Amino acid sequence: MATCALAATRAFRSMMRFRAIPVHFSSSSEGKKDLSHVDPSSNMPRMVDVGEKATSARSATAVATVAFPADVAKTLRLGKSDDVRSAKGPVITTATIAGVMGAKKTADLIPFCHPLAIEDCAFEVRVADEGTSLDIECTVKVSGKTGVEMEALVGASVAALCVYDMTKALSHNIEIRSTRLLAKSK
């Protein structure tokens, strides 16, 4: 089995013209954390083994901000109704659907994320910065052996991308800013 894995690794490196990058692993006694997705013995990327972990309720919340030029925000009438409309349709409703779809596809997009049976994915969209931006907050919940922060981050990011797509006809100066994790529980 190890010989097959070694052959596969060599073939992968050859196909991708992969050059191993030296990674320094500090000892835990120094108070620094190791990279969990890098095997310290081979410096190769790997999926974390969660087989021995207990199943528990986990949640994570992430936010992405979409900033609009003032004239675009005025045209969209941010904060004046429950949803923003563009020529393509209801922006926030469509972005919420896209964000949920994105969160559900996280394991297909991020190589070492475990596929999860998401139990809840909720969005809250708020007008911010005196009516010139939208804060898109995504909260994901699951009962599992691994966290859901990547799902929350992907959900918020995809929703923000959808907002951009649905409003880009008004301006290419729309910005997606500061996608970040707000909270995580085990």
Determine whether 165 is an active site residue.
yes
Rounded to 5 degrees, what are φ and ψ at 166?
-80, -15
Q: Residue 29, Cβ neighbours under 10 Å: how many?
A: 6
3-state secondary structure of 142: strand
Residue 58 buriedness (CB in 10 A; 0-12 / 13-18 / 19+): buried
Please pick, among 49, 108, 120, 165, the residue that the annotation labels catalytic. 165
What are the backbone dihedrals phi and psi of residue 156, each rounded to the nearest 5 degrees, phi first?
A: -65, -40
- State how far the Cα of 185 lies from the Cα of 12, in Å rounded to an integer: 36
The answer to whether residues 118 and 151 touch, using CB atoms and an 8 Å cutoff, is yes
Catalytically active residues are 165
